[in-house]
């Protein structure tokens, strides 16, 4: 028995080893169709990784065009385009007439180098039955010329052109189009003679453009112009004619100006637009720019005039600007509404300091649309010369001009203008003074800040609010600690009222340094300053985590004192937990401390409410803890229900909490909500 047992063990061990070591009975370059399909994912992985042309060809040779085998063939054809050689050509040629495979076979043939490929494609035209296959092969012969070896003359180009020539009059449009494409790219001078035929139709015209571009790269402009002129005269689609006219003008350069002048005179909008496009693309210099100005004077329609003005704004070369800039600037003063708006728009690109007076006049014209456009340009004109010209207006302009210039200084943030703005603060005109104050907030640097503080210290009661806005605007752009130090130094020797204003500014600036100064004041001897400082602590803005920790320490310290401001400190401490983002453990710690420090029921209820504002299962546990507290149970019930409403999902803690709420609450509305929550658990 033992012998039989050990024999069986040995048999299974040997059999397992044999299976593990079994070598496949096929290779990828010989795998049959059923194996390729069965191992579809592995076949695709192989095709994407292998460079074995035989393995790719084996897939391509498989019969059928069903979706499963066609998908594998698609990968094989794609890889043959990258790794195939002349060896693959006969197999690929055989596939051209198969409806679902021909396209993929042509893709591979387009990519494989060598004249043998072209010759095989030309020969295949004799045997193809499907019209779409013929069109595809002709297209492939053109693609190989256009993309495979750009700039090189291939030996078979003449043969490809000859083959395509026979299909140029074919009755099937796709064949005719593909033949024209192939002929244009391979036909050379013979193709030029074909495409200058005035009877050329719209189906073939696009290939004429390709032919022109090919000769343009060679520098043979006479042939290019011959083609474009013929296309412009042919009975083809309007957009094709327009493209031919435009291309001809651009090839001629300044010699094409007479042609685009004719287009300006046309009543057809599309033809008029050709002249505008040409004006933008023709070489820089005076000839085109002067022609545009001349044509502006010949137009009667204000819309067309505005288009010419906008086109002048596109010609930014130095020569053109000598005539276009003053011409366009003058139109801001004299043109109608459409022309004015176009002129202002153009000055955004071609304007300089010289156009400021007309733009300022437009900005104050009373026409809202014109004013908005002018202000937009005034705010964006580049250059230090423009900045200097704007600042200079403060010294010689009237009140209206000064106010406008100050607004520009603010918008452009011209920091060098602080002395002039400071002087404008003493202007006799109230509008100028107010504008200067506001602009200082946007332009002052830290070196100017001590002088700004003087404004606050010296401000009258009705001016304080406005000055604080300016100082906040300036101070929040500067380093927090440095600004706080500068404010602290200004406390010496000023009135209590001024110090109160400085404290208010510290709150607006924020940061630990400012907080330390306010804290120090809160523990000082001046009752008025103490009152202001403690009030500010309760309204301190959120900041960095370190600021929050420091603020919590200050408020807690104030809440532990039995003095006048204990309640204010406690409320400030509770506010941190209620309103500020912080880790949950910090929030819970503040709540626990605050409950110990509070002796008023209203404060305790505020603390319980914190739990519902920041819902979690932990916060639910904290609320449940107070369900047995006679004073706080209703507040705790309300908090527990609010937390449960906000929490997603089901949890035993929610069920237990709601059951307890039902047991202890005397508020029917709260109990009804608890019942609804339980139905969802």
Rounded mean pLDDT, 119-136 = 96
140 Cβ neighbours under 8 A, 6+ residues apart: 106, 109, 110, 121
Helix spans in 511-626 (H): 512-522, 527-537, 545-560, 566-579, 584-597, 601-613, 617-625
Residue 26's pLDDT band (cuts 50, 70, 90): low
DSSP tag of 283: P
468 Cβ neighbours under 8 A, 6+ residues apart: 456, 501, 504, 505, 508
pLDDT on residue 460: 84
pLDDT on residue 493: 86
Phi, psi of 665 (to 5 degrees): -80, 145
DSSP tag of 648: -
Q: Is the pLDDT of residue 400 over 50?
A: yes
d(CA 19, CA 34): 22
Tokens of 315: 């010609």
Query: Phi-psi category of 253—alpha, beta or left, where left has phi over 0 and alpha has psi -120 to 50?
Result: left
pLDDT on residue 154: 65
pLDDT digits (tens, 9 = 90+) for 48-107: 999 999 999 999 999 999 999 999 999 999 999 999 999 999 999 999 999 999 999 999
Element (H, E) at 22: none
pLDDT on residue 149: 53
d(CA 429, CA 52): 88
Contact 211, 195 (CB under 8 A): yes
Residue 30: Cβ within 10 Å count? 11
pLDDT on residue 12: 36
Q: Is the pLDDT of residue 5 over 80?
A: no
Q: Is the pLDDT of residue 255 over 60?
A: yes
d(CA 502, CA 369): 42
Helix spans in 351-398 (H): 356-363, 368-380, 384-396
d(CA 576, CA 574): 5
Rounded mean pLDDT, 251-259 = 92
Q: Is the pLDDT of residue 467 over 90?
A: no
Burial environment of residue 607 by CB neighbours within 10 A (0 to 12, 13 to 18, 19 or more): buried
Contact 481, 473 (CB under 8 A): no
DSSP tag of 428: S
Rounded mean pLDDT, 156-171 = 93
Tokens of 392: 């200079």
d(CA 69, CA 428): 90
- Three-state SS string across 70-86, please? HHHHHHHHHHHHHHCCH
Compute the Cα dihedral for 474, 476, 479, 484 and give only its sign. Answer: positive
pLDDT digits (tens, 9 = 90+) for 591-639: 999 999 998 999 999 999 999 999 999 999 999 999 999 999 999 999 9
- Low-confidence winner among 23-27, 340-344, 515-519 (lowest mean pLDDT): 23-27
pLDDT digits (tens, 9 = 90+) for 214-247: 999 999 999 999 999 999 999 999 999 999 999 9
Burial environment of residue 228 by CB neighbours within 10 A (0 to 12, 13 to 18, 19 or more): buried
Angle between helix 356-363 and 384-396 (nearest 10): 60
Nearest to 478 by CA among 434, 500, 508: 508
Q: Is the pLDDT of residue 1 over 90?
A: no
Tokens of 38: 């069965």
Nearest to 405 by CA among 419, 418, 422, 392: 392
d(CA 36, CA 63): 12
pLDDT digits (tens, 9 = 90+) for 175-201: 999 999 999 999 999 999 999 987 888
Model pTM? 0.66
């Amino acid at each position: 028995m033992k012998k039989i047992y050990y024999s069986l063990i040995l048999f299974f061990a040997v059999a397992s080893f044999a299976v593990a070591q079994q070598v496949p009975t096929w290779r990828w370059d010989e795998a049959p169709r059923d194996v390729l399909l069965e191992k579809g994912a592995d076949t695709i992985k192989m095709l994407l990784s292998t460079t074995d042309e035989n393995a790719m060809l084996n897939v391509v040779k498989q019969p059928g065009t069903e979706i499963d085998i066609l998908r594998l063939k698609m990968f094989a054809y794609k890889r043959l385009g990258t790794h195939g050689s002349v060896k693959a050509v006969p197999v690929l040629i055989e596939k051209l007439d198969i409806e679902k495979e021909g396209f993929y076979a042509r893709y591979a043939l387009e990519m494989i180098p060598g004249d043998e490929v072209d010759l095989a494609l030309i020969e295949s035209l004799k045997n193809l039955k499907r019209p779409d296959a013929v069109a595809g092969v002709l297209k492939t012969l053109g693609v190989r010329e256009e993309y495979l070896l750009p700039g090189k003359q291939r030996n078979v180009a003449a043969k490809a052109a000859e083959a395509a020539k026979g299909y140029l009059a074919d009755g099937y449009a796709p064949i005719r189009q593909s033949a024209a494409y192939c002929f244009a790219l391979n036909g050379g001078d013979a193709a030029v003679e074909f495409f200058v035929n005035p009877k050329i139709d719209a189906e073939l015209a696009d290939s004429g453009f390709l032919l022109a571009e090919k000769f343009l790269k060679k520098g043979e402009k006479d042939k290019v112009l011959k083609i474009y002129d013929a296309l412009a005269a042919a009975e083809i689609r309007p957009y094709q004619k327009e493209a031919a006219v435009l291309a001809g003008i651009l090839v001629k350069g300044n010699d094409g100006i007479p042609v685009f002048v004719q287009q300006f005179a046309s009543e057809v909008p599309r033809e008029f637009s050709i002249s505008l496009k040409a004006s933008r693309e023709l070489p820089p210099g005076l000839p085109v720019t002067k022609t545009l100005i001349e044509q502006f004077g010949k137009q009667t329609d204000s819309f067309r005039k505005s288009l010419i003005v906008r086109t002048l704004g596109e010609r930014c070369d130095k020569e053109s600007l000598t005539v276009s800039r003053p011409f366009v600037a003058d139109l801001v003063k004299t043109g109608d509404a459409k022309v004015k708006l176009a002129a202002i728009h153009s000055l955004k690109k071609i304007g300089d300091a010289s156009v400021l007076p007309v733009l300022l006049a437009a900005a104050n014209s009373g026409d809202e649309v014109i004013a908005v456009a002018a202000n937009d340009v005034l705010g964006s004109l580049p250059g230090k010369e423009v900045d200097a010209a704007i600042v200079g207006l403060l010294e010689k302009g009237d009140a209206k001009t000064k106010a406008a210039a100050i607004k520009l200084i603010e918008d452009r943030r011209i920091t060098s203008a602080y002395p002039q703005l400071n002087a404008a603060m003493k202007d006799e005109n109230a509008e100028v003074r107010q504008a200067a104050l506001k602009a200082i907030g946007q332009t002052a640097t830290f070196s100017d800040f001590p002088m700004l503080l003087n404004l606050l210290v010296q401000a009258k009661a009705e001016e304080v609010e406005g000055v604080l806005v300016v100082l906040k605007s300036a101070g929040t752009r500067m380093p927090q600690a440095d600004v706080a130090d500068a404010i602290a130094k200004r406390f010496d020797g000023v009135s209590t009222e001024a110090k109160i204003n400085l404290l208010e500014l510290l709150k607006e600036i924020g940061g630990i340094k400012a907080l330390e100064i306010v804290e120090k004041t809160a523990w000082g001897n001046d009752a008025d300053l103490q009152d202001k400082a403690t009030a500010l602590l309760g309204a301190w803005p959120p900041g960095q985590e370190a600021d929050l920790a420091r603020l919590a320490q200050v408020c807690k310290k104030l809440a532990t004192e039995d003095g006048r401001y204990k309640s204010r400190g406690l409320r400030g401490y509770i506010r941190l937990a209620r309103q500020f983002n912080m880790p949950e453990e910090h929030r819970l710690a503040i709540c626990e401390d605050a409950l110990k420090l509070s002796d008023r029921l209203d404060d305790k209820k505020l603390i319980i409410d914190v739990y519902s504002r920041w819902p979690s299962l932990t916060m639910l546990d904290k609320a449940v803890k107070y369900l047995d507290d006679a004073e706080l149970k209703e507040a705790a019930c309300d908090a527990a229900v609010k937390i449960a409403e906000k929490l997603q999902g089901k949890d035993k803690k929610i069920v237990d909490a709601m059951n307890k709420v039902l047991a202890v609450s005397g508020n029917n509305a709260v109990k009804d909500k608890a019942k609804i929550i339980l139905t969802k658990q």
